[in-house]
Structure 1
Amino acid sequence: MVQLHHGWQVSARDTPVPVSRVPAAVPGCVHTDLLAAGLIPDPFLDANENELSWIGRTRWTYETSFQWSGPVDDRIDLVCAGLDTVATISLNGTEVGRTANMHRGYRFDLRSALTPGRNDLRIDFDSAYEYTAAMARQVGSRPGAYDEPYNLIRKMACNFGWDWGPTVVTAGIWQPTALHSWSTARLAQVRPQVTVDGTTGVVDVHVDVERASTESLHVTVEVGGVVGVASIGAGSIGATLRLSVPDVARWWPRGHGEQPLYRLRVVLATEGGRELDRWERRVGFRTVRVDTTPDEHGTPYTVIVNDKPVFVKGVNWIPDDAFVTRITRERLAERFRQACAANINYLRVWGGGRYESEDFYELADELGLMVGQDFLFACAAYPEEEPFAAEVAAEAREHVVRLASHPSLVTWTGNNENIWGYADWGWPEQLAGRSWGAGFYHGLLPSIVAELDPTRPYWPGSPWSGTPDIHPNDPAHGTMHIWDVWNQVDYTHYRDYIPRFCAEFGFQAPPVYATLRRALSDEPLASDSPGMRDHQKAADGDLKLRRGLDAHLPEPQGFDDWHYLTQVNQARAIQLAVEHFRSHQPVCMGAIVWQLNDCWPVTSWAAIDGDGRRKPLWHALRAAYADRLLTIQPRDGGLALVASNDTDRPWRAEASVTSHDLSGKALAAITIPFDVAPRSVVVTPIPDGVALPSEPRSELLRAVAGEQRAWWFHAEDREIDYPAARYETHVERTATGYDVTVTAATILRDLSLFPDRLDPAATVDQALVTLLPGESATFTVHTTAALNTAALAAQPVLRCVNDITPRSV
């Protein structure tokens, strides 16, 4: 193939700024082209997003030219892997094709329009809003979570804005585009189905060809040193080969084993041996299923890989940039490293984004990160009439086949929250009998998965209880989402639920300070300053943040306090939820936090902000998802010590459980031995004589077992009689930055260091450390900059909860 990625220009008429033959990047989009040309301000900064809505309502024209020397091969095709979205493609003034789906690729035969010498290629993109308005007139409107028409076009839904994302309705050539010259035949589709039978790896390779002649062909398949050959007779268009690979090493999720990958090669040739086409991927041998066998607790949802139940320690994944063509393999690799360092083993690709890239899945294969891929339907009713039904079928078939080779992909899910929405959000009355997507989720999509990818389980929706007879978000059945906690009640109410599998739950906080300072020019910066308001997309988000603070923490005395405390509160909320869910294993077998990442600088539920910086939540996730977890949990009117062992080795230890006053003095203590089998949990009640305080406002509980620590405070921070924070610091320059050692003279609650306030590129190895008097912690700061050591050891860089004066209660 010859890539057509150079020489493109983009133009438009009747725009607020003149746009005539502006250089255009392919792959790319019009927003990034205009930004690169200096014609628009950065949409991610301040309130610029609001000034650029005209871009999504404009028709755009992309043009380039290429040379062609005349007939050589039987076919010359234009291969467009992705056009965003409603496009008309013309060559030398002749229309050669149209598209209306961002989520699929297209191939156009150019022979009727090609001329020797120069050829002019033009792609006209209609406004997505004009298209959706026409669709509304044709099939009727449909309800959704937002007042945007994202459900009336096969385009990335979050382009239209979300409660964490900007409204940047893009257009452009967002995937590679190329000329493909070929003769005789080509590989139209290769679909490997990979599984394991005992110690033998089995690959069923389904090969489809497109022909330009009727001659006989043969296809050769090789994997793991095993070779298979099949003939494709004259006029036939496909073949299937089964290869059995002896003594294969199985692919395992991270934390459960290694991730060996085997190269699978497919070669198409003529009977005489002339190679026509080839296809190569890496595959991994493993089995996967989801156990939903009813039990005494309801209906489980347990991911089982290689016949081994896996507790899912997951995060939800959204596109890592609102402009997805800026997401490089290196950027994904960094995000995945951050995920693995936080002990995550599962990424759920949310249904309002995209079918993720080959880079994404190849990295997940290598790292052992399991992936659950939603089909692209989110938070809305979707029409099932044409042209949507055909487009949905085409995109689903394309991506099920494309991703079939990846062992990291373990589940397909039909949609995000649409079945729940139909049940609870008043849609039936608004729909008045119109279609809403049920036929996709219960009919079309499962039939496509069963036909093309039967080695993987399909689940109709997230959430889904497993049957229409049970509410789709019932905690005792299947998967559930917990959003009443963020939206309505205190985060301690996560403990009201013992879900079988929680696929979404989250709590907000602002991004890292350096990210805010890059994105916002507010002076002074405040929780309600204009830029902060523009970068808070959640309904009543600031009020919900305030409600969360009021329930637990002292009154912020300014922006620096507010910023630190909201981040602490987010981390505590999610750590509480995860530890609670893990303590109820195996009834609960999965927690998927909303969300790992952001697509721009915004106050959100993410653990890693829009500039790729780790919030305190990331550190809390690392602790809560640790292979061995010690936690104190309320049980049966008292407290219990819970030891969770997510390894293949027994965990035998003794925990010292001690009641302390705020001076650090031990008031009562007990030693609790425990023996936790692999991949299991042990719950041990703590005697009331240790667990129950005489003075809740001035007592706490700590459990220690080796490196593991667990804390229990009997009162909220705003009620606790903390002494004023006192400590000594020692700062030492190192080859990679600084070591900051803090020695507590009083209790220090959730001690954290924020070096990004001094150097935006600086990072720190830990956060949210609680110390008793006399104890020390060393924070390792990585930076190439020379930092002010006094500032490094003082507020607002070094913070703890009890350096903020509690308000009276």
Structure 2
Amino acid sequence: MVPLHDVASARRIPLREGWALELARSEDAVSEDVAQALPIPATVPGTVHTDLLAAGLIPDPYLDDREDAVAWIGRADWRYRLEFVHEPHDGEEAVLCFDGLDTICRIELDGVLVAETSNMHRRYRFPVDLRPGRHALVVTFSSALRHAVTEAERLGDLPRQYRHPYNFIRKSASHFGWDWGPTLVTAGIWRDARIELSSRGRIGDVRVLTALDAGDGIVEVFAAVHEPHPGSELRVRAGDAEVRVPAGQPARLRVAKPQRWWPRGFGEPALHDLAVTLEADGDVIDSWESRIGFRDVRLDTSADEEGSAFRIMVNDTPIPVRGVNWIPDDCFPPRVTSERLRTRLGQALDAGVNLVRVWGGGCYESDEFYRLCDEAGLLVQQDFLFACAAYPESEPLRSEVESEARDNVARLSRHPSLVLWNGNNENFWGEQDWGWRPAIGGRPWGAGYYLDILPRVVAAVDPTRPYWAGSPYSGTPEIHPNDPDHGTMHIWDVWNRLDYPAYRGHRPRFAAEFGWQAPPAWSTLERAVSSRPLGPDSPLLRSHQKAEDGHAKLARAITDHFPAAHDGDDWHFAGQLVQARAIAFGIEHFRALRPRNWGTILWQLNDCWPVISWAVVDGDGRLKPAWYALRAAYATRLVTIQPGGSGPVVHLVNDDPVDWVAALEVRRIGLDGGDRTSERWDVTVPALGALALPLPATLAHPDDPRTEVLVATTAEGRGVWFWAADAELALDPDPLETRTRRDGGDVVLDISARSVARDVCVLADRIDPAAEADAGVVTLLPGEQMQLRVRGIPPGRDTELTRRPVLRHAAELVPEHARELR
């Protein structure tokens, strides 16, 4: 029995402790161990799966093929119970609040029905009669999977890309399985629950809009006030401005010349305190605080000679987007703590990322997620939650969609990091190109959401931000949604059917999705897969490959570049190395298209479990070699060599808002050392611009493409060009000299190259799962030295950093016959 402390200042009482979880109904046979153990303590916020895990009643579904062993949980109904004692103040009103209920839910208080809900993505508030004494709160979750199947049968099925009918329920689509995620259909009170008490009013939802006007900041505050006391008023303060309005009325303030909020790389992400207090008869009744930012944001889609632009403009400045797609960081969202978000977003920032796209098959993220982005100057594109499917537009789903949109647009409106609302993921494309139309049969399929309801909600609730109807989308239904000359483009033919040099065949205005698959870190695989030896034929590994024909596509991607037979170590390194190269190749090509192209959003930053996927940070939070390649390709000042009509062309891309004055040296050198020829130029790359420098024939054409490399260098970085494939290059199979030394708790690996060492990587987690190197995928030229710092290496194991399988480079993957070229 949990007492509710009703001290006058404790107006919001969290409902986190004292819950019990029990099975309400199951169509599957339940093991005797589970049946006898229930009920068990429940965690709020939490999920049924994590409570059963904590009680030791189910296996970890992230390991081996145990996902199937817990599938019954998503087909069952579950009940949460809480008993508490309440002693209210005189005249005190009570409201039962849930910030997230997953998903088909029935709420009862003392045996009386309070409400039924059917949307994971909404917040709920229910007035309740909370008299003195003991109370029983019961929250029952029916199977979301069963509900979705029933609705699909009732309304008539509609096409989607995956098996289960996730398009018939307002729940995270990826919970039903994706090409990188398991099928784990969750249930539970997944965000905070509480009771709000008041006798003289309380502040409910607060919607905040900010804008700039003649250098001043404009703040509009719309604060809902529940049960206001007669004569009560709101006092709103922002910066040096303050205003009082009657309770429940909107407030508008003008803040004189505030410091603006800027994206990273363009200035400080300045934030200002905003305070809202509810006052009556000289007393402060309730309060609410946040931090806000002042900036203008718009989307430039102006027509030009090539089609139409797609540029995100902040404070009238075009922002070259270096983005990543974000998926839920865990299949069980309550496990994603503030610390974990800070780490994952920090990994994005450290890789040079300036925008995160919250993808439409997941969830609207926590307030903490957007707060961290605000503080870091990290832009956010927020999808509405529709992905890879045709969605019914009939009731009750239609009303749920509008209510969900209004709720989340209002909740997130105060965050300056959020710069673009996006209507859906790939649904325009699917309807047009994926053979959906016969199955749709002329019925509404979701376009009414993306072209009518959602833009109306954004215009009414948050007119300070642009809305774009989809990704990909060309701005009008009259133009193909994936047209490269307009809007956003997704590029998946390269990974699915081709090799990564085919990225050069695409010239998008804005590349919103593209990517390349690879295994996770070795220690992540070892933890998740018990079959040995580890490798592509490990029996249990296929449970951690969710992409259609993914193993075959990954094998093709490797053998296109390294056709030798591979053991498990070579398969793993080759897969990771090709991913790193593919990502760098695509990004550098797209960035070199400036001014045609103004953004890339790589698929994807993170994983939700240990899986072979397109992520650069794996499901255990470890950096793949692709992360280091992403960091290099997302350099603010990029030097890259791209093909031209008569030979290689050096491109300098400047994402700085100031000119880049550089001394550029281009050399043609032998793989074993020695300059063939070189030239130097003094160049100026305009702010937010690019410069292409065709090379003279003496540099552009090698004497022997097998034994030479082209290098373009500035003080900020360099680009490297090989004229031949790895198997044709006369690469030294043993080009490195190494030694190690301790520096505090770190190990410093000193590396020197006798000849060209291509794509040197240190897979430090092969020594210890906690170990991590500060650099990777580095090409060293003859005579070059580097110091690579590695943290987390246990004492006595330093020398393992100097040899296989930890220290790797591309020549190790080259067939023996290629070495004869030397």
Pairwise TM-score range, normalised by the shorter structure? over 0.9
1:104 Cα offset (Å): 0.5
Counterpart residue number, 1:606:
615
Counterpart residue number, 1:319:
328
Is the deviation greater in 64-73 or in 577-586?
64-73
- SS of 1:180's partner is strand
Distance 1:115 1:541 in 2: 59
Equivalent of 1:8, from 19, 22, 39? 19
- SS of 1:499's partner is coil
Equivalent of 2:490, from 477, 481, 500? 481
Post-superposition CA distance 1:207-229 (Å, at most 9, x none): 3333366x333211100021011
Mapped contact 2:240–2:256 kept (Cα < 8 A)? no
Distance 2:92 2:444 in 1: 44
After superposition, residues 793-804 of structure 1 pair within 5 angstroms as 793-804=802-813
Post-superposition CA distance 1:33-66 (Å, at most 9, x none): 0000000111111111121110100011111101
After superposition, residues 746-757 of structure 1 pair within 5 angstroms as 746-757=755-766
Distance 1:36 1:72 in 2: 41
Counterpart residue number, 1:95:
113
Distance 2:15 2:777 in 1: 51
Mapped contact 1:553–1:716 kept (Cα < 8 A)? no
After superposition, residues 263-302 of structure 1 pair within 5 angstroms as 263-270=273-280, 272-302=281-311
- SS of 1:552's partner is coil
Counterpart residue number, 2:185:
169
Equivalent of 2:160, from 102, 126, 144? 144
Distance 2:91 2:750 in 1: 70
Correspondence 1:548 to 2:557:
yes
Distance 1:451 1:557 in 2: 58
1:184 Cα offset (Å): 3.9
Correspondence 1:578 to 2:587:
yes
Post-superposition CA distance 1:663-703 (Å, at most 9, x none): 12322222233211221111110112211223222222111
Specify the code of the residue in structure 2 equivalent to 1:501.
F
Post-superposition CA distance 1:395-439 (Å, at most 9, x none): 111110100110000000001111111111111111112221111
- SS of 1:282's partner is strand
Distance 2:257 2:779 in 1: 50
Correspondence 1:24 to 2:42:
yes
Mapped contact 2:640–2:650 kept (Cα < 8 A)? yes
Distance 2:208 2:126 in 1: 26
Specify the code of the residue in structure 2 equivalent to 1:93.
G
Distance 2:540 2:682 in 1: 53
Is the deviation greater in 69-78 or in 485-494?
69-78
Distance 1:191 1:649 in 2: 36
Specify the code of the residue in structure 1 equivalent to 2:120.
M
Specify the code of the residue in structure 2 equivalent to 1:255.
G
Equivalent of 2:698, from 685, 689, 694? 689
Mapped contact 2:533–2:568 kept (Cα < 8 A)? no
Post-superposition CA distance 1:54-83 (Å, at most 9, x none): 010001111110101256334211111111
Specify the code of the residue in structure 2 equivalent to 1:98.
E
Is the deviation greater in 460-469 or in 128-137?
128-137
1:807 Cα offset (Å): 6.0
1:93 Cα offset (Å): 1.4
Correspondence 1:130 to 2:143:
no
Counterpart residue number, 2:259:
249
How many residue pairs match? The answer is: 800
Correspondence 1:490 to 2:499:
yes
Please provide the CA RMSD for this pair: 1.5
Counterpart residue number, 1:41:
59
Correspondence 1:438 to 2:447:
yes
Distance 2:814 2:687 in 1: 45
Counterpart residue number, 1:240:
250
Mapped contact 1:74–1:212 kept (Cα < 8 A)? no
Distance 2:652 2:716 in 1: 13
Equivalent of 1:229, from 244, 263, 266? 244
Summarize the Cα distance change of 1:637–1:542 in structure 2 as closer, same or farther, 3 Å threshold.
farther
Specify the code of the residue in structure 1 equivalent to 2:635.
A
- SS of 2:195's partner is strand
Identity %: 48
Distance 1:667 1:766 in 2: 29
Counterpart residue number, 2:630:
621
Equivalent of 2:313, from 288, 300, 304? 304
1:556 Cα offset (Å): 4.4
Distance 2:309 2:277 in 1: 43
Equivalent of 1:710, from 695, 700, 719? 719
Equivalent of 1:183, from 199, 207, 211? 199
Specify the code of the residue in structure 1 equivalent to 2:238.
V
Distance 2:184 2:686 in 1: 51
Mapped contact 1:697–1:719 kept (Cα < 8 A)? yes
Is the deviation greater in 668-677 or in 243-252?
668-677
After superposition, residues 647-726 of structure 1 pair within 5 angstroms as 647-726=656-735
Specify the code of the residue in structure 1 equivalent to 2:50.
T
Is the deviation greater in 696-705 or in 152-161?
696-705
Q: Which runs of 5+ in 1 are unaligned?
A: 233-237
Counterpart residue number, 2:271:
261
Correspondence 1:789 to 2:798:
yes
Post-superposition CA distance 1:129-165 (Å, at most 9, x none): 2211221132221110101111111011111111011
Distance 1:805 1:608 in 2: 27
Post-superposition CA distance 1:368-390 (Å, at most 9, x none): 00000000000101111111011
Equivalent of 2:744, from 735, 743, 763? 735
Mapped contact 2:637–2:716 kept (Cα < 8 A)? no
Mapped contact 1:482–1:505 kept (Cα < 8 A)? yes
Equivalent of 1:204, from 193, 212, 220? 220
Counterpart residue number, 1:54:
72
Correspondence 1:385 to 2:423:
no
Distance 1:337 1:368 in 2: 12
Post-superposition CA distance 1:278-335 (Å, at most 9, x none): 2211000000001001111111110000000000000000111111100011111111
Distance 1:659 1:36 in 2: 60
Distance 1:248 1:686 in 2: 48
Distance 2:717 2:575 in 1: 26
Distance 2:682 2:565 in 1: 41
Specify the code of the residue in structure 2 equivalent to 1:267.
T
- SS of 2:114's partner is strand
1:715 Cα offset (Å): 1.2
Specify the code of the residue in structure 1 equivalent to 2:573.
Y
Post-superposition CA distance 1:441-462 (Å, at most 9, x none): 0000000000010000000001
1:544 Cα offset (Å): 1.1
Specify the code of the residue in structure 2 equivalent to 1:166.
P
Mapped contact 1:725–1:747 kept (Cα < 8 A)? no
Correspondence 1:216 to 2:234:
no
Is the deviation greater in 630-639 or in 257-266?
630-639
1:635 Cα offset (Å): 1.9
Distance 2:565 2:342 in 1: 37
Mapped contact 1:554–1:807 kept (Cα < 8 A)? no
Specify the code of the residue in structure 2 equivalent to 1:220.
R
Distance 2:60 2:753 in 1: 44
- SS of 1:121's partner is strand
Distance 2:745 2:38 in 1: 49
1:337 Cα offset (Å): 1.3
Mapped contact 1:199–1:246 kept (Cα < 8 A)? yes
Post-superposition CA distance 1:83-120 (Å, at most 9, x none): 11001111111111111000001112221xx4532111
Is the deviation greater in 604-613 or in 721-730?
721-730
Correspondence 1:561 to 2:570:
yes
Distance 1:651 1:784 in 2: 40
Distance 2:793 2:83 in 1: 46
Summarize the Cα distance change of 1:187–1:115 in structure 2 as closer, same or farther, 3 Å threshold.
closer
1:784 Cα offset (Å): 5.8
Is the deviation greater in 366-375 or in 77-86?
77-86
Counterpart residue number, 2:6:
none
1:559 Cα offset (Å): 0.9
Equivalent of 1:345, from 351, 354, 377? 354
Task: Find runs of 4+ consecutive structure 1 residues off by over 6 angstroms.
Answer: none
1:719 Cα offset (Å): 2.3
1:191 Cα offset (Å): 1.6
Is the deviation greater in 766-775 or in 510-519?
766-775
